[in-house]
Amino acid sequence: MDEYQHTCMIRGDGGRAIRAILDRICDKWTMLIVATLDDGRMRFTELKEHIPGISQRMLTLTLRHLERDGLVSRTAYAEVPPRVEYELTALGKSLIPPALTLAGWAIEHNGEILASRETYAARQK
């Protein structure tokens, strides 16, 4: 029995918990937000400026999910106009090392993957 099968058996859920967490952290925007917040606390508008292509709605939704999951903390200040800041929690910061490892793997193997895609596409013609 490999480690994945062992983990699924211990959980007794067929891997559903693992898939649910990976769905959250591997979506289109989460890792970009987490990586951006690794630089420190930021306001919503700062985050939006640092993440090209993200809409206000997607940034809001993703931040809510990250806050719910305990990866990001949100601090609202009673000022006029209101000020809200976001920062990584300890749990969120613990995601940085494995994310960098995965990003490094992707960069290292990007050429091989692109070549495989081209070979596959050529066989499909």
pLDDT digits (tens, 9 = 90+) for 100-118: 898 889 899 999 999 999 9
Taking the C-alpha atoms of residue 43 and residue 47, their distance in angstroms, rounded to an integer, is 6
CATH architecture of 29-94: Orthogonal Bundle (1.10)
Q: What average pLDDT score do residues 79-83 get?
A: 88
Question: 37-57: per-residue pLDDT in tens?
Answer: 999 999 999 999 999 999 999
| Residues in a beta bridge with 75 | 85
Distance separating alpha carbons of residues 87 and 64, to the nearest angstrom: 12
All structural domains of the chain with their residue ranges: 29-94
Residue 67 scores a pLDDT above 60: yes
Cβ within 8 Å of residue 59, ≥6 positions away: 29, 33, 44, 47, 48, 51
Which band of pLDDT confidence, cut at 50, 70 and 90, is reported for residue 16? confident
**72-77 sheet: strands from edge to edge:** 42-43, 83-88, 72-77
The per-residue pLDDT of the chain, averaged, comes to 89
Residue environment code for 78-95, b if the CB has 16+ CB neighbours within 10 A, otherwise e = eeeeeeebbbbbeebeeb
